Every structure is written in C-alpha cells, then in structure tokens.
Structure 1
Amino acid sequence: MTAQIHAGAPPAPHWLDREATVAKPGFNRWLVPPAALAIHLCIGMAYGFSVFWLPLSQSLGIAKSVACPAGAGLLTALFTTSCDWKVADLGWMYTLFFVLLGSSAALWGGWLERAGPRKAGLVAAFCWAGGLLIGAAGVYWHQLWLLWLGPGVIGGIGLGLGYISPVSTLIKWFPDRRGMATGMAIMGFGGGAMIGSPLAALLMNHFKTPDSVGVWQTFVVLGGVYFLYMLGGALGYRVPPHGWRPEGWTPPATRNRMISSGNVHLRDAHKTPQFWLIWLVLCLNVSAGIGVIGMASPMLQEIFGGALIGKPELGFAALDASQKGAIAVIAAGFAGLLSLFNIAGRFLWASSSDHFGRKATYFIFFGLGIALYAAAPTLAHSGDRALFVLAFGIILSMYGGGFATVPAYLADIFGTAYVGAIHGRLLTAWSTAGIVGPVVVNYIREFNKAAGVPADRLYDATLYILAGFLVVGLICNALVRPVNPKYLMPEDESEKLATAQAIPSGPIGGYGIGGGAFDIKAALAWGAVGVPLAWGVWQTLQKALAIFQ
C-alpha cells in the first residue's frame, strides 16, 4: 500500500461504519451466509409466536382464563389488570410484525445501503431483543399495549431491518450464484419458528409455577439468546471491495437480456413498470401461500376428520372432544411439515433460479401452483392424504422460494447498487399479502360455513380462488421486460457509489469457490447456525410423522 498518512488524511472509520466492514485479503466469503442466517433464524421466530397465545390468554387465571366483563372492548383489554386477554387481541402482534416488517424495510432500506449491513444488523438486534424485553414487562404488569409496542412495533422494525440487512451484501459476494446466496440466508427466516417454537415451549414448561404461566421469563431468556446470536451475525458481516469478483470467475460473455448491465437508482426504481409488476408477482404468490399457512391446521382436520385417527366413517362434526384433540395434534404436525417445505424451497428454488433464470422460475411457481391448487379439492375428496400433503408441501416450497428468489430477480432487473433498498420497498407487497391472504381465506370459509357447506368441502371455493390469484401473477410475470435504458444511472454516477477502500480492488485469493476453501473457521460458523437448525428440523419431523400413522 503506497498511501501515506498525513495531516489532511480522513480519520479511521468507526467500527460500525460501512468502510470498517470491507473485507481484508484472505477473507472467506462463506463466512457471510452463516452471519445472515444467525440473524434470520432469530427474527424468524415471528412465524412461531402463536405458541404464546394460549398461555398469555391465561396469564392471570393460570389454569383457566379470567373473563372480562360483558361488553368490555379493546380499550379495556389494552389496559386491564383484572381479566385475561383474548387470543384475537393478542393476535394483533402477528399483524404488526408483518406490517412493520414491510414498512420499516421500505423506509430505511436506503439508509441501510449507506450505513452498511453491520450497523443495520446491530439495530435489528436491539429492536428485536429489546421488543421481547418490553413484552416481558407487559406480561409481568399485564399491559397488552406493551406487548403491542414491544414485540409488535419495535420488534417489527427489527424484523424489517434484520430481514433485508444481508441481501445486498450476499448478492455482491456471490455474483456467480445470486439465487443460492439469498436462498441460504432467507431460508433462516422460515426456519426460525422451527427452533423458537419448541424452545419456547420447553422454557415455558421450565418457568411455569402455580402463579405464573412462564411467558415473561421465556421472553427474557429468548431476548438474551437472540441478542447474542444477532450480535454475532452483525459483527460477522463483511462487504467486498469495490470491483471484487470471485477468483477465476468472469461475467458470462453472452449475457441474459433479462440481466441488466447497469444500475437503477433507488429514486427511480418505483417509477418503472418492472417494479410494480414484480410487486404484484410477490404479493399474489405470498397471498396464496400465506392463506394456506393460516388455514393449514383446521383445513386438514375438517377435510379428513376421523380418517386421521383411523375412523374414516366419522366426519369432523361427528368427532367427540377427545378425538378432536387427537386430530389437532396430527394437524400441528402437518403445519410443521409445511414449514420444512417452506424452508427447503427457499434454498432449492432460489438456487435453481441461477440456472433457469428468475422469470422462468416464477413461471414454474405460478404454472405448477395453479395446477396444484385446482387439483387440491379432488385430492381431498379422494381421501389420499399422502398426495394431498405432498401437493401442499410443494405449494409451500414455492411460497418460500418466491421470497428467496425475488432479491436476485431485483438484482437482475435493477442492478446491484441499490438492490437492498429496492428489496425493502418491495416488501410492502408482503405486508399487503399478510392482510389480503388470511382475510380472503377466513371470510370465504365463514361464508361457506354459514351457508351449511359440509366441513370437508369448506375450502373448495377458497382453493379455486387462490388458483385465480396465481393466474393473475403469471400474467404479471409474463409482462416483465428489461428496464428501459433511460432509468439506468450514468457510469460516472455509478462510480461515485464506490466506497473509498484501504485495500486494492479486483480479484483477491482465499474467498471460497474458485480460490480459497471451506476452511475450519467457515465450518465453525456454519455449525453455530446449523446445529440449532438441525434440532428444529428433528423436532418438526417427529411431530409430522403422526400424519401418516
């Protein structure tokens, strides 16, 4: 290095600044995905928060809920200390999670690109863990508004920042495997509940006493564990030097016309039709999938009824309380199995998109999804549980795959300069889908039930409508074209985005594929996230086996 320190030289970057996270020669790029996974596995517990609803609804009565006075409204529930909360009131935390995830990602995505992933990951850790600690106080003092504020609002902001923190960085580290890189990280969000839900159940049982359901203590422990894991992930983030590429790899000479050779500025991305078409593609894919997630347990119970416990002659309505309890356990295994497909799909489909292309991959999602949704009622009425479960497993794999593939799709269309921030804005599609999907599914089910439709046919119309969602999504995907060159940034403006580096740019050895190796340090990092994930998979598989017994 020939640069000399002199009186006018800029000060050394603070350890949280983006400049301080630039990788030094010899850094192994395979250390970055486990750092991202460490954060995503923690915030992914948002999917598993329903494990707390029943205990929280009995936090005063312990064995049985203490009912509020007749006519007590939501305002009473927010501040009461004399009666228990309803599950419906607690469930607003789940809504807040995903509304705040999308909105915070959209609001602060641009800041993340400037500040870097380390600072964003650290803020996410404080918000998610801090939100759980505020929630613990809310349980201890029996104040519902603190639960909404803590895990719901503050935790939801942490979800948004934590979710998008690694996207841009991973795409830049793996220009040769964009889909695989984002799939590795984003599969963690789907896997967080597999670890967090059984862990939370174990902790609540440990802390439970005659005077406590053990939830506030569980929040404190989870908050501490999650903060340490997320801190480790944030500190593990590194960004590549400007102009770096994997050793031995060069961009293909014949480029796919769907992959942009330039960059679209954040201020211009939403002005393009491509942004809104991909927004609709994600929204429609997620609306259909999240609707299935929300109705998975009751759907299996009501469609197959007594067949789940070896009594096919008994419909759901004919089962007694103990039999309904038995099939509820089996249905929980079905929900868990779907989560496994969700996780696997995030990695497998996103990795496959590196070979098929992003647009073609979404064509598979929509084409295969339409066929499976349309066939699901027939599979249900045939009584073939194995095919029914397999069909919905594939559907959920494509739901997860849609999340993991869309960052690479955006990078292809808009370039990598602002992909993290653009992805953040696109996640408002998730927030919208989180409302549309469940509302459509739940209201149609209630309408059919009120009309006297048999339990095993309550979901037929719903599944056909979800297939219709995917038809519209397929059309939107077909309309995606390369972005108009007028939206591409001039080359001189792109160059200004390069951060001043203390090391030379260009190929540097020891980064993994094509040069370095999957060394012991990378193996330890992967073990730190892989062991908890494997435990969660094992817990889920044990419960899922009950479906086929």
Structure 2
Amino acid sequence: MAENSSSLLDRSRTVAGPGYNRWLVPPAALAIHLAIGQAYAFSVFKKPMGALISGNVDKPDALDWTPGQLAVIFSIAIVLLGLSAAVFGKWLERVGPRKAMLASALCFGGGFLIASLGVHLHSLALVYFGYGFVGGIGLGIGYISPVSTLIKWFPDRPGVATGMAIMGFGGGAMIGSPLAVALMAHFKGPGAPMGVAPTFIVMGLIYLVFMMFGVFTIRVPADGWKPEGYVPNATHSALITSSNVDADNAIKTPQFWMLWVVLLCNVTAGIGVLETASPLIQETFSDANMGAGRGVTAAAAAGFVGLLSLFNLLGRFFWSSASDKLGRKPTYMIYFGLGVLLYALAPTLMAGASLTLFVVVCCVILSMYGGGFATIPAYLRDLFGTMQVGAIHGRLLTAWSTAGVLGPLLVNYLHDQQKAKGLTGAAAYQTVFYTMAGLLVVGFIANLLVTAVNERYAFKGEVTTASAGH
C-alpha cells in the first residue's frame, strides 16, 4: 500500500493532534498484549489435545498425540515470535503501529482458526502451522508494536511505559487459561471431542475483536513531540545516548550482543523454574519429606504455578518502573547478582524442606524474570535512541526464541541425568538450579561489559517518521 494513500491504516492517519493525552495509548497497547499473552496458557490444551481419539485424558489411545508432540506447538510459536519480530521490525517502524497491530490480530486470531481445523481433522501438521507458525508471527509483530509506540510517548519514563505493556503479556494467561477451560467444558460432547476445536474458533474470534480495539485507538506522537518539561538525558547517565542508531547498525555494535546474552541468560534461567514448577514442588515437598498428609498436592502445586505467574506479572511493572530511578544497568545487576544467590540457595531450602522460604525465593526469581523482559526495551532505547527501537527490540528477541528452546531442553536433560543416577526429590533438581545460577553469572558479566555506544554508529540524518524505516 502506498505511503501517501489516505487509508485508515496508514501511519499518517495515526499521528496524534495537539493536546492529545498520551495516557490513552497504554490501554491500546494492553489490548494487544493481554490477547497474545494467551500463549503462556497454552498448557491447558495439552491434556485435552492428547485425548482427542480416546476421549479420556487418563487413558490416551495409541493414535493420540503425545505430550512431546504437543510441546512442539509452543516451541514453534516462541521461535516464530523472535524471528518475526526480527524480520518485521523495520517494516513496523515504517508503516506504523496500526497496520502492524492489524497484521498481528489477523495472524494470531487466524492461527486459532487454522489450528481448530487441524484438531477437527486430527492433523498435527495443521496445528503446528496454525497456532505455531501463523500464530507465532502474530505474537512477534504484536509483541513489539505497542512497546515501540509507548517508548516514543514516554521518553521521560520508558521503564514505566514498557512495564505497562509487557505486564499485559504476563497477565494474558490469567485471562486465557480460565476462558479456555470454561469453553472446553461448554463445548465438550459427541460432536466435539474434548471441546478443543470449537474453543479454538471462539477464542480466535474473541481475540481478533479484542485486538481491534488496540488497532483503531493507537496513536503515535508527531515528529519532534516531547512531553511538557521533558529534558533529554536529565539523569546524565553515560549510557543514555542523545543520538539514534538504526537497526542495521545496532547489530554491528558489541552492546547489542551483550544485551542479547543478557536476555538469553535471564530468560533461560527463568524458564528453568517455570518449566518444572509443578512437578518440582510436588516431588521435592512430598509426604515422604514433609510428613504424612503435609506434602504438596497437585492442587497446591497448581496454586504455586498461579502465584509464580502473578509475580512474573507484577515484576514486569515493578522492576521496569524502578529502572527509571535506578538506571537500566544497575537494575540488571540486581537481577543477576540477587538471582545467583537465590538460585544457589534454592537446593539448600529444598533439601531442608523449607517450603515457605522456597516459595518466597521462587516468587522473587520470577519477578526478576518478568522484569528482565520489561526492562530490556528501555535499555535499548537508552543505548540506541527511539528512532528504530522497535526494530532493534525485534532483533534482540531472537534471544528469547533461543532461550525458549534451550531452557526446557537443558532443564529436562539435567533432571533426567540425575534421575538416571537414582536421585529423587530435591537431589534430582540440584544440578538444574546450580546450572541456572552459572548462567546468571554469565549474564552478570555481559551486563557489566555494556558501555555507551560509539558515536560512529549514530544515524547522521534528521530523525523523522520517514527515517524510522529507511
């Protein structure tokens, strides 16, 4: 579509007029992130999708899909999230958030509809393509478009801005999980085994409509707009640039790759807890270790997972907002420094059956896991400016894709290795936690090496809407 057309989707039609209240933008961003955050709740479909033939989650048929086959769906979605964010980042900056958010809504909602057909036909390849590939593209474009826009609206509080949006992604599972369970229970019957296919259709349409609120209410600031009283680089941090670096030059800097390692280590370690949370707490704090009737039940473990999700959500806003006062580099020092201590302490608490302290430690760990996601866009903005921060953020999210595959593989491999040695309970998870602590040491060193970006990488022209996607 031509840049100068009068289409409602063009960037020129989303530029806010004088006096526009920038606080109207966060709800539009949240509409996108609360929807695509459903990806974190995909696990509620695993058992029903694994019993489509048998109709019994406890006794699957030989033709039913296995847990391993179903786990691939989420992995494809996360890999495509990072890849599509990297590929479409510059396009987003050029065409503006409205067109990008519409593309996200169509892909994410459409992914559910394709996956529904795959469930109906019992075609796993179609489910992979729908929810994993098409839906994953929707995830990637949807993840970066509101963040890029909010950073431009809140140059004085970028941590607060990104925390608001990315908090929504963390909270999406709190809506998506009970919604999916209720819909599957409603639709389950002879014509719809386990109720999964019609649930996918309804959720796809609900999310499509919900995301349209964000599409048509999003606005971008006019070229040169600044909030009243805003003084650039008022904190006088050496890391905060007054220049702008485009996405192609950003990936040539050592700072980009240090932050890539920072995000990879933080996410891989966090997934180490998330991936094993329910079985870990049940195996470690069982009746055998805690005393008859005092062990953690499956229901209590589900509550533990919910608590971790809540701290993942709250940490995104708390830590990223705190980074506006503390600075981005010191905030990551806390994530990694405190994280190393907590990961190293966890096996001792597990061995000593200190359940309450263990839960507290895991909650703090998950708050910093979420905080790491929310703080990274503001860190990128400090180093590379706002001109193409969405495109740069998109390319950095390939670290998340890598961690989304590496984390579960690493955790399961280490745990299986210990079980093969005959270790059980806390002993079987010791190596996992110590390895994650080691990863955080690597992240700490990478963050320590981040310095101001050399001026030779700076964009030399005038920063305008046109230059954002040049």
C-alpha distance in 1 between matches for 2:200 and 2:223: 41
C-alpha distance in 1 between matches for 2:114 and 2:37: 19
- The Cα shift of 1:132 comes to 0.1
C-alpha distance in 2 between matches for 1:303 and 1:66: 28
C-alpha distance in 2 between matches for 1:485 and 1:193: 42
C-alpha distance in 2 between matches for 1:346 and 1:11: 38
How has the CA–CA distance of structure 1 residues 11 and 112 changed in structure 2, closer, same or farther, with 3 Å as cutoff? closer
Equivalent position to 1:270, from 224, 230, 251: 251
C-alpha distance in 2 between matches for 1:445 and 1:114: 46
- The Cα shift of 1:11 comes to 5.8
Quick one: percent identity of the two aligned structures? Answer: 56
Correspondence for 2:218: 237
C-alpha distance in 2 between matches for 1:249 and 1:116: 24
- The Cα shift of 1:498 comes to 6.1
- Asked if 1 retains the 8 angstrom alpha-carbon contact of 2:272 and 2:432, the reply is no
The answer to whether 1:419 aligns with 2:389 is yes
Equivalent residues in 2 for 1:10-409 (5 A)?
13-63=6-56, 65=59, 67-68=61-62, 83-211=63-191, 212-253=193-234, 255-306=236-287, 312-313=290-291, 327-409=297-379
C-alpha distance in 2 between matches for 1:495 and 1:127: 29
C-alpha distance in 1 between matches for 2:6 and 2:330: 43
Correspondence for 1:488: 458
For residue 188 of structure 1, what is the amino acid of its counterpart?
G
C-alpha distance in 2 between matches for 1:384 and 1:451: 25
C-alpha distance in 1 between matches for 2:130 and 2:181: 20
Unaligned runs of 5+ in 2: none
- The Cα shift of 1:67 comes to 2.8
C-alpha distance in 2 between matches for 1:278 and 1:209: 49
C-alpha distance in 2 between matches for 1:15 and 1:253: 37
CA deviation profile, 1:73-97 (whole Å, cap 9, x unmatched): xxxxxxxxxx321121111111001
- Asked if 2 retains the 8 angstrom alpha-carbon contact of 1:132 and 1:220, the reply is yes
C-alpha distance in 1 between matches for 2:64 and 2:401: 29
C-alpha distance in 1 between matches for 2:4 and 2:257: 42
- The Cα shift of 1:353 comes to 0.3
CA deviation profile, 1:283-317 (whole Å, cap 9, x unmatched): 0010000111001111101110127xxx8235xxx
How has the CA–CA distance of structure 1 residues 11 and 290 changed in structure 2, closer, same or farther, with 3 Å as cutoff? closer
C-alpha distance in 1 between matches for 2:362 and 2:60: 38
- Asked if 2 retains the 8 angstrom alpha-carbon contact of 1:242 and 1:498, the reply is no
- Tell me the TM-score normalised to structure 2 length: 0.95
C-alpha distance in 1 between matches for 2:86 and 2:44: 29
- Asked if 2 retains the 8 angstrom alpha-carbon contact of 1:171 and 1:182, the reply is yes
- Asked if 2 retains the 8 angstrom alpha-carbon contact of 1:62 and 1:210, the reply is no
For residue 294 of structure 1, what is the amino acid of its counterpart?
E
Unaligned runs of 5+ in 1: 1-9, 69-82, 500-549
Correspondence for 1:507: none
C-alpha distance in 1 between matches for 2:175 and 2:200: 15
For residue 316 of structure 2, what is the amino acid of its counterpart?
R
CA deviation profile, 1:326-381 (whole Å, cap 9, x unmatched): 71121111111100000000000000000000000000000000010011111122
SS of alignment partner, residue 261 of structure 1: coil
- Asked if 1 retains the 8 angstrom alpha-carbon contact of 2:82 and 2:395, the reply is yes
For residue 112 of structure 1, what is the amino acid of its counterpart?
L
Which stretch shifts more, 244-253 or 401-410? 244-253
Which stretch shifts more, 471-480 or 84-93? 84-93
For residue 390 of structure 2, what is the amino acid of its counterpart?
G
SS of alignment partner, residue 433 of structure 1: helix
For residue 453 of structure 2, what is the amino acid of its counterpart?
V
- Tell me the TM-score normalised to structure 1 length: 0.82
CA deviation profile, 1:42-77 (whole Å, cap 9, x unmatched): 111111111011111111221255533xxxxxxxxx
How has the CA–CA distance of structure 1 residues 495 and 24 changed in structure 2, closer, same or farther, with 3 Å as cutoff? closer
- The Cα shift of 1:256 comes to 1.4
- Corresponding residue pairs, total: 464
The answer to whether 1:432 aligns with 2:402 is yes
- Asked if 1 retains the 8 angstrom alpha-carbon contact of 2:184 and 2:195, the reply is yes
How has the CA–CA distance of structure 1 residues 86 and 342 changed in structure 2, closer, same or farther, with 3 Å as cutoff? same
- The Cα shift of 1:255 comes to 2.3
- Asked if 1 retains the 8 angstrom alpha-carbon contact of 2:232 and 2:242, the reply is no
For residue 180 of structure 1, what is the amino acid of its counterpart?
V
Cα RMSD of the aligned pairs, angstroms, is 1.8
SS of alignment partner, residue 67 of structure 1: coil
C-alpha distance in 2 between matches for 1:234 and 1:34: 11
C-alpha distance in 2 between matches for 1:31 and 1:386: 41
C-alpha distance in 2 between matches for 1:202 and 1:210: 17
Correspondence for 1:73: none
- The Cα shift of 1:497 comes to 3.9
The answer to whether 1:460 aligns with 2:430 is yes
C-alpha distance in 1 between matches for 2:44 and 2:233: 48
- The Cα shift of 1:411 comes to 0.3
